[in-house]
Amino acid sequence: MRSNVPAAFTDLLAGTTRTAVHLEMRDSYAVDYEAGPFAGWRRGFRHDPDDRASWWRPWLGLVQETVTRGVTIRRARIVSEPVTEYTRYLYDTTFTNVAAGELVRWLPRRRASDIAVPGNDFWLFDDQVVRWNHFDGEGRSLGPEVTDDPAAAKLCATAFEEVWARATPHDQYEIH
């Protein structure tokens, strides 16, 4: 069931009053090996955590604003081990998400084998609205889909909580 809830991510987050959770399950997302942040990271560039002005971006401001309103934002990543180069990049840059107020955990894919997870990454807002993130085989976004179908929301909530319970907090996870 598709919903008439707003599809814009910022609108969904603005309407959230308690929790926003995000489950990521891909080993790479739209990797650009020639340009952009991932390419810079591959060439050895690393953000200085102490130079906040150099890495702060609008997304982090939105997260910080949302967390300041009292919303808990949690992100869990199911990852293959050994991790891909892109996952290593995500790991190295996750300190920015944490600085903005997100709680982030990592779960090795082998430890998620018996968890029923949806077929797509998702955001779940207040356990009621799901924003599916659809990707092609190369990790390019095919656009979101939003639903308030109670069965989909329950599936996502249950899957996320099971992943979260098994996952390791970012500051304790060791890249393999």
**Interaxial angle between packed helices 85-100 and 58-68, expressed in degrees from 0 to 180 and rounded to the nearest 10:** 50
- Whole-number Å distance between alpha carbons of 140 and 153: 24
21: pLDDT confidence band, cut at 50, 70 and 90?
very high
**Residue 7: per-residue pLDDT:** 65
pTM, 2 dp = 0.94
Contacts of 74 (CB under 8 A, 6+ apart): 19, 20, 21, 22, 102, 103, 104, 105, 160, 164
pLDDT score recorded for residue 6: 52
Please state, in angstroms and as integers, the Cα–Cα distance from residue 53 to each residue in 13, 95, 159, following that order.
24, 14, 36
**59-87 average pLDDT score:** 97
The whole-number pLDDT of residue 1 equals 44
Instruction: Please give the average per-residue pLDDT across 70-95, as a whole number.
Output: 97
Classify domain 9-172 at the CATH superfamily level: Endonuclease Chain A (3.30.870.10)
pLDDT digits (tens, 9 = 90+) for 133-173: 999 998 999 989 999 999 999 999 999 999 999 999 999 99
Q: Would you call 143 helix, strand, or coil by DSSP?
A: strand
Q: What angle do CA 147, 77, 80 make, to 5 degrees?
A: 125
Token duo for residue 3: 């919903």
